[in-house]
Chains A and B, each alone.
Chain A
Amino acid sequence: MNLSPFLAVTGGGSSRLLTMSPVDLLIIIIYFLVVLAIGFYLKKFASTGEDFFMAGRKMTAWVAGLSFISANLSSLETMGWSAMAYQYGMLGAHAYLIGAIPAILFLAVVMMPFYYICRTHSVPGYLKLRYGEASRSLAGISFSFMTVLVCGVNMFAMATVLRLILGWNMHFSIWVSSVTVAIYVSLGGLLSAVFNEVLQFFLIWLGTLLVPILGLYEAGGWTKMIATINAAHPGQNFTSLWANMGSANNNPMGMHWTGMVFGLGLAVSFGYWCTDFLQVQRVMAAKSLRSAQNGTIIGAVLKMCVPLIVTLPGLLGLAILTQKAGITLMPEYQAQATGGHSYNQVLPLLMARYLGPGLLGLGVSAMIAGFMSGMAGNVSAFATVWTYDVYRPLINKKASDAHYVSMGRWCSIIGVLIAIVTAYGAMLFSNILAYLQVLVLLFIVPLFATVILGMLWKQATPAGGFWGFLIGILASFFMFFYVHWFPGYYLPFMEKDIRDLPALAQKIQMAKEPVSQFVVAQMPPDTRKLLDQYVVSEKAGSGPVSLWGRIEEAIKEPNPEVLALRSGIVNAMNAAETNTLYSAERFSAVSLTPEQLALARQKLDGDDLARFNRSLLEKAYPGELARMRRLEATQLNPVHAEQIATSPKAQDMAVNMFSAFWSLLITLGAVIMISLFTEPKPDSEIKDLVYGMAPLPNEGTCAWYAKPTLWAAVVGVILVVVNIIFW
């Protein structure tokens, strides 16, 4: 593998991107020590339920706002959206503009007063007050489990990233970070999580901001950077937010502007920012309604600034990494198969290029801080929802406040342990990862539709709320499975379909049976050479069988030659599928099913032939190859995707956005229809919960510059101006 001179900072042939000096390691150690020290210091301030779960409701607007935005600023987010900007240009900035700001302002001005005056501890708590226990239980249980599962996915992603860029052992990354999070959240609860999130906000900005500053300097400023990108990509538009969204065929996301506005800007964004308790909990802990509202608006301003450290590095990757350093990034699956650099590495690659000793430690601390703030956010939200919305109403109604605090502390530890199990599960079963990454999306949009109808429409009934919410969740899951379902279609073999590479390599290389002889004949000389070397090196023959052995195998730093061999075998298998594979002599030693024998007598072509041939290969190598799945989370069925996202070119993002929008409409429709035929709650029970019936608290007069509505309007105007400038 050829690394750029700027990246060849490691010796010994390792493929990691960064090598740290002692001062870098010292900076990371200081970070962990300070985080733990804050947790131990705050334990004495988290003695009551209100302290532990709601941080005593005494956060100032700035602390609430910084925590609100920091809980969202995970490293997966910064690396992922930098990758988006590298692939799609400014389209990747929508997540920070229309995909966030209107929803955050709506939360501040419209929804926050209701959350605040009903003094609920959580979003499911609001559902209890507005719709009843059934809705709360549904939201509480599903949110609890999804939160810890998503936390596990983040943990796995963090360990993978740290292995890739620093060469760290994955067990070490998972256990050190999770034990640290478990300690400081279980000691100080939300207060500790909020303190650390504010600290992490500073580290993330100060550790990352230098990358775009130096990058712009090297590129010769914004104008020259854009000119370089345009010259390298003639006919493509990397600098517009909207100009190429008139048709789904004109932009690489395969998304029409309606998907961006109604899917991202309305359904996903409002669901995420207004009802995902992980976010809302931060501002609900503010000391007053005005602080909660202003904190939320501060969060909106900070969110609008994030493209500086996310989108801009993505664009700099196009201008500098590709044009000056000669590194071309590729999709994750391709990078895994070839040992190249994926889009997701654009930010670490730029760090490796610009950050010297000390600064690199700060940058890596920022990355670790970003991962840990996301994990702590999930864990503290899990502890609150489990204790107040599942344990207290359903399991133990009459315990003391101290008992619930103790339960919250144990929940923090148990939540982290479940997340660790999930992370190890994700190592063994890559499909789990693909499912869990969209899990929150499937849940929060119906939740938002249910909550917002409850707030704005007093006729919404408990039955309408519960069944509408449930129908919305089921519809979301249905759409997700539908676009990844391949009934009667053909999926070529993928690298992950080789379940036992050592055994398969040995069988093919020895070529004793006619099927293996045929597969080997499809291989180019390079792949045959790799196969011979692999088998001679005694890696082949006996694969790892124990669970721990499989985990060890999964987390090992990938060997580029093994990756290339895996890809070569897959290509040979897929080439065999398009040929006339079947003959009675060739498969005489393989026991075929009656259906296969019947198909063998027919004249098949195209996908039918390929599907049949794949089934023959699966029969020939039953222990080594995975069977074709009807449900494949990493692939989109183009026919089904077009039905959901209006374009056969729709990519994952477009499908997710349109699915979210349909889910919003289905939930709204279901709640309204059911409410029309069922009994609403009496006005006396919902007077503090519904718009027009709830008297807003009078917090006294304040200076004009402290009014939330003024700042919400200012931020709204800035959002419009930014969209016009980068139209």
Chain B
Amino acid sequence: MQKEHQVPIWFFIGLILTAYGVLIFGAGIYGLFHPPERIALSNLHAGIWWGALLLVLGITYSVKFRPSKTAPRPAPEDKSNKKSAS
């Protein structure tokens, strides 16, 4: 019995970083208009660029290691076997 293809860990990392990137980037944008109190260097808007970095990393990993790309393609002989069997 052939084992099911295992989605690589990098894809999960991509998903969570994408979600985190969206949330942190969004919170950073919100902070532009409602600056957080008592946070040092809030004028640097770290949330925006750190969120953007997470987003880029997340999307890169999600796309590069998406299940449809990492799953092994059926070997040609498998196809011929199927045909002959049928």
Contacts and interface: CB of A to CB of B under 8 A. Distances in A.
Contact of A45 (B6, B27, B50, B51): B6
B9 A218 contact: no
Contact of B40 (A45, A210, A214, A357): A214
A333 interface: no
A206 B15 CA distance: 15
A232 B53 CA distance: 36
A194 B40 CA distance: 36
Given A34-B12, A195-B9, A199-B12, A357 B44 contact: no
A38 B54 CA distance: 20
Interface in A161-219: 194-195, 198-199, 202-203, 206, 210, 214, 217-218
A355 interface: yes
B16 A359 contact: no
Contact of B38 (A8, A23, A206, A361): A8
A23 B31 CA distance: 12
A354 interface: yes
Interface stretch (A25-33, A577-585, A709-717): A25-33
Nearest to B10: A198
Interface of B: 3-4, 6-7, 9, 12-13, 15-17, 19-20, 23-24, 26-28, 30-31, 36-42, 44, 46-47, 50-51, 54
A685 to B, nearest CB: 36
Contacts, number: 94
Given A6-B40, A357-B31, A358-B28, A210 B23 contact: no
Q: Which 3 A-B pairs have the closest CB atoms?
A: A358-B27, A358-B24, A356-B36
Q: Which of B23, B37, B44: most chain A CB closer than 10 A?
A: B23
A38 B16 CA distance: 12
Contacts of B13: 198-199, 202
Given A358-B24, A358-B27, A41 B7 contact: yes
A63 interface: yes
B54 A353 contact: no
Contact of A358 (B6, B44, B51): B51
Contacts of A38: 12
B9 A63 contact: yes
8 contacts: A6-B40, A9-B38, A23-B24, A31-B16, A206-B54, A356-B28, A357-B30, A359-B24
Nearest to B53: A206
Nearest to A8: B38
A435 B9 CA distance: 37
Contact of A195 (B12, B24, B39, B54): B12
A213 B24 CA distance: 17
A21 B42 CA distance: 16
Interface of A: 5-9, 21, 23, 26-27, 30-31, 34, 38, 41-42, 44-45, 63, 194-195, 198-199, 202-203, 206, 210, 214, 217-218, 353-359, 361-362
A597 B22 CA distance: 75
Given A354-B46, A358-B28, A27 B23 contact: yes
Given A6-B39, A34-B16, 10 more contacts: A26-B23, A27-B23, A34-B15, A38-B12, A42-B6, A63-B9, A198-B9, A217-B44, A358-B23, A359-B50
A195 B13 CA distance: 10
A138 B8 CA distance: 38
Contacts of B19: 30
Nearest to A44: B4
A210 B46 contact: yes
Contacts of B27: 21, 23, 356-359
A479 B58 CA distance: 50
A195 B19 CA distance: 18
A161 to B, nearest CB: 21
A456 to B, nearest CB: 36
B51 A214 contact: no
Specify which of A42, A44, A45, A356 lies most central, judged by the most chain B CB atoms within 10 Å of its CB: A356
Contacts of A218: 40-41
A36 B78 CA distance: 35
B16 A354 contact: no
Nearest to A60: B8
A41 B40 CA distance: 41
B39 A362 contact: no
Nearest to A209: B50
